Structure 1
Amino acid sequence: MEQARTIEQSFRASYGRYAARYGRHRLNYKTNISARYRYVYVETAKVACSSIKQTLQSAEFGRPGLRYAHPQDVHRRELSPLLRPEQFAAVDVFTAPDFFRFCFVRNPFSRLLSAYLDKIAGGKPQKAKILGALGRPEDDFSHPVPFETFVAIVCDQDDEAMDLHWRPQSTETMIEDVRYDFIGRAERFEADFAAVLNRVGIDPALYASRQDAHRTGADEKLRMHYTCEMEQRVVRRFARDFALFGYPPEIGA
């Protein structure tokens, strides 16, 4: 009994360390735990997270084809059947051997452009802080922000100042603390996600779902938006992402 209590206290201490390092809200928002299928999915914004969560929540509910009335509801944790680390505080789900841990990553050039097209050019709330950085009123959404300006602002931000939609993936995946069993790529999403679903016991044919509300087609638009100078600036700022996840530090390589 005493040994079990000591182990539980150790796990709770681990949760406290993760919460202190990443922030309690951020940690619990991004981490999706299945008690039914015994997996941990750490999400990264702008890397098919809407599609992944739609599928995983549908399977957890046991309701194929589940769709929320509002696409954004898939991101509301209070509606999700997937659990948060604070609900599993007695178990270190980031290292425990009986959980399958996975995440997905994306080419940093494409992810940054997709964030811009969706959130900044698309006039979403994330534009407000970029406007503020330019000295503009944060509610002046009619003011255009060129991609080059956005890149300059973002590349001068530290990780904590960044919005989660463009914060480095090496930070968002908590790569230093999570013992991943699988890191999938957005560039081969269908095959990699099907492999994940099969591994945890979810039938892809029954549950796999694609959520297109935030798709921007950024992968095909890189040369239209990046100059050589912008390309190099992104390579320097996101150097760890390029290195850790094996993406070439040049467009079209």
Structure 2
Amino acid sequence: MEPDVAKPTVTWAEMRAFFPHRPLAYHIHALPEHGIVYVKNPKAACSTVLLWMDRLHTGDHDFNPGNVHKDNRLPKVSSIGRRRVARMLSGGAYSFTFVRDPLRRFQSAYLDKIVGSTGWRAEIQAALGEEPDEGRPVSLDDFVAALERQDPVREMNPHWRPQHINVMASLIRYDHIGRIETFAADLETIREAAGLPAVPVAARNVTGTRRVDLLADRPDLEERVRAIYADDFEIFDY
């Protein structure tokens, strides 16, 4: 953290514009007593970071719930105060987030939310102008075509919309933006820079299927996916 470098002032209303149809508070987690604030980026180790923060906050190093997004004991934005959280993101705390290789994140979202679940298929079918039917499979080609039609801010689900929008990169100047590819080292950098105690880290939602390269034999689709996430590639230097 560089306290001598002034950060831009961030307001809650400015941040809210990045999440017009979802609660902004769900995407920000702050620990005032530890002087840190984290902005979630779905499909980029959110569950692992939240569990780490819960253990840091409570001191309960054995805590390991089934759904850490719903069952964590982290303080709510409503209890901290929106203005205070905004001040923390404006330089009043150590701010951080994590990003991921855009191609790998895209594939993880497809495998997890579209192939491995049915609840999100209707969003893709609606984007294609089809009648929603969660029981009907959505192909990789369908998924790409739907994303090409969706407005990133107003229509894309945070699990697959560009990461620079999720983390509000044009608005927030982070103290550290970690990468999933170097997660352990980046988390240690955050811990040391923020002066945090060491707590055990437990990787969450990691499976071997996420290493499958769905685009290996589809250069046509890869080119289109790269176009969708072009800003992520440039901003985060992937």
Aligned counterpart, 1:207: 200
The one-letter code sitting in structure 2 at the alignment partner of 1:52 is: V
Root mean square deviation, CA, Å: 2.4
The Cα shift of 1:179 comes to 1.6
Aligned counterpart, 1:90: 83
Aligned counterpart, 1:250: none
1:32 aligns with 2:29: yes
1:149 aligns with 2:137: no
The one-letter code sitting in structure 1 at the alignment partner of 2:143 is: F
On the 8 A contact 1:106/1:186 being kept in 2, the answer is yes
Distance 1:140 1:223 in 2: 22
The Cα shift of 1:86 comes to 7.7
- In structure 2, the gaps of 5 or more residues are 1-8
- Of 194-203 and 166-175, the range deviating more from structure 2: 194-203
Q: Among 217, 220, 234, which residue is 2:225 paired with?
A: 234
Aligned counterpart, 2:212: 221
Aligned counterpart, 1:61: 58
Distance 1:183 1:23 in 2: 24
| Number of residue pairs the alignment of both structures matches | 227
The Cα shift of 1:21 comes to 4.9
In terms of fraction of residues, the more helix-rich structure is 1
Aligned counterpart, 1:176: 170
Q: Do the aligned partners of residues 137 and 40 (structure 1) sit closer, same or farther apart at CA in structure 2, a change above 3 Å counting? A: same
Q: Do the aligned partners of residues 202 and 242 (structure 1) sit closer, same or farther apart at CA in structure 2, a change above 3 Å counting? A: same
The one-letter code sitting in structure 2 at the alignment partner of 1:89 is: R
Aligned counterpart, 1:5: none
1:44 aligns with 2:41: yes
TM (normalized to structure 1)?
0.80
Of structures 1 and 2, the larger Rg is shown by 1
The one-letter code sitting in structure 2 at the alignment partner of 1:145 is: V
On the 8 A contact 2:37/2:89 being kept in 1, the answer is yes
SS in 1 for 2:226: helix
On the 8 A contact 1:15/1:86 being kept in 2, the answer is no
Distance 1:87 1:48 in 2: 24
Aligned counterpart, 1:192: 186
On the 8 A contact 2:18/2:168 being kept in 1, the answer is no
